[in-house]
Amino acid sequence: MKLPFAGRLLAVAMLAAASLTLSVAHADTAQKPKVGLVMKSLANEFFVTMQDGGKAYQKAHSADFDLVSNGIKNETDTAGQIDIINQMIIAKVDALVIAPADSKALVSAIKKARDRGIVVVNIDNQLDPEVLKSKGIEVPFVGPNNRKGAREVGDYLAKQLKPGDEVGIIEGVSTTTNAQMRTAGFKDAMDAAGMKIVSTQSGDWEIDGGNKKAAAMLSEYPNLKALLAGNDNMAVGAVSAIRAAGKAGKVQVVGYDNIDAIKPMLEDGRVLATADQAAAEQAVYGIQTALKLLKNEPVENLKDGVIDTPVELITKK
């Protein structure tokens, strides 16, 4: 049936209005950025907390951006993290916020993202500045001063020891900047207090790795008085090794991260101290920085490519 002229005119007007509504809705969707959050091992409570912080922030600001997140299953799976970055590129994220499992091996994948116009922000473990420079890219780092935090933990431990006491350091993955910086901070404190560092070995950030390295040190150095672990997972492993060696209460342990699993050990003295580096907030700071860069807005507190985030000494309450 053919509509009268007035009816045809009304139909055209309604179609035009619908088309305009769809166009506006599409424009709003296009303007809403998608942020990819790439975590290290989600078997580590610290990174679960970090990821949860990012998700909670997105939920509270769902009108401002979308979030996709993923992480690897163990601390040394750099290939897995590279795969995640490639997946994020295929998913056409506008920004990547990444806690890299390795400070050097991830740079090529990150350059690939940058070459496709993706904003990248580095959190937790700083990418190697020289490798970034060799690839011709700059990536801002949002995270704590790991050396300073470890120095504070080490200084607190030193007050419980005597000059000349033997200590061991269990560090994280040796190719990561944060592991290197925490080891340096522990060494700064022990050297300043006159302690004797008899061994530094990598426990790969894992409970089992910390347990094995602690057991080996306790066997080789029977006069060992303390173990400084680069994260709380390895500190938990060290506590188990000390108990198995029959030296509970005779060897001090310190960690780093302040995960929930370490808190009862702080209270009963199995662990002397740790450092809280605000896991959930780190993800939020990284996301906030990425969103500002996407909008070409100024980023506050960015100095020499770094935004320092809080780190706090934690001891028994």
- Same domain, residue pair 165 and 256: yes
The tens digit of pLDDT for each residue in 94-152 reads 999 999 999 999 999 999 999 999 999 999 999 999 999 999 999 999 999 999 999 99
Q: Are residues 227 and 263 in the same domain?
A: yes
Give the tens place of pLDDT for each residue, 270-310: 999 999 999 999 999 999 999 999 999 999 889 999 999 99
Residue 23 has pLDDT above 50, yes or no: no
pLDDT of 312 higher than 50: yes
From residue 288, give the alpha-carbon distance in Å to each of 58, 59, 136, 283, 297: 10, 14, 24, 9, 11
Tell me what pLDDT residue 267 has: 97
Q: Are residues 139 and 164 in the same domain?
A: no
121 and 166 in a single domain? The answer is no
In this predicted model, what pLDDT tens digit does every residue of 205-237 receive, in sequence order? 999 999 999 999 999 999 999 999 999 999 999
Residue 152 included in any domain: yes
Residue 30: its pLDDT value, please? 55
For residues 68 and 70, give the distance between their C-alpha atoms in angstroms, rounded to a whole number. Answer: 7
pLDDT at 280: 94
Provide the mean pLDDT of the chain: 91
> 290 lies in which domain range?
31-144+279-310
Number of domains the chain contains: 2
Residue 46 and residue 125 in one domain: yes
H/E stretch holding 224: strand 224-229
- Of 164, 152, 175, the C-alpha closest to 254 is 152
Amino acid at site 196: K
Is residue 215 one of the residues assigned to a domain? yes
Angle at 287 between CA 56 and CA 182, to 5 degrees: 100
- Tell me: the pLDDT tens digits for 33-64? 999 999 999 999 999 999 999 999 999 999 99
What CATH number does the domain containing 182 carry? 3.40.50.2300
- Please tell me whether residues 156 and 264 are part of one structural domain: yes
Same domain, 181 and 107: no
Whether 34 contacts 66, CB under 8 Å: yes
Same domain (yes/no): 208, 100: no
Phi and psi at residue 291, to the nearest 5°: -65, -40
Report if residue 10 sits inside a domain.
Answer: no
Asked whether residue 128 falls in the same domain as residue 215, the answer is no
In a domain, 229, yes or no: yes
Q: Evaluate whether residue 6 is within a structural domain.
A: no
Same domain membership, residue 71 and residue 159: no
Does 15 score more than 90 pLDDT?
Answer: no
Both 73 and 186 in one domain: the answer is: no
pLDDT tier for residue 26 given thresholds of 50, 70 and 90? very low
15 found inside a domain = no
Cα-atom radius of gyration of the chain, to the nearest Å?
A: 25
11 within domain boundaries: no
pLDDT (0 to 100) of residue 31:
81
Q: Give domain status of residue 111, yes or no.
A: yes
Q: How many residues does the chain have?
A: 317
213 and 242 assigned to the same domain: yes
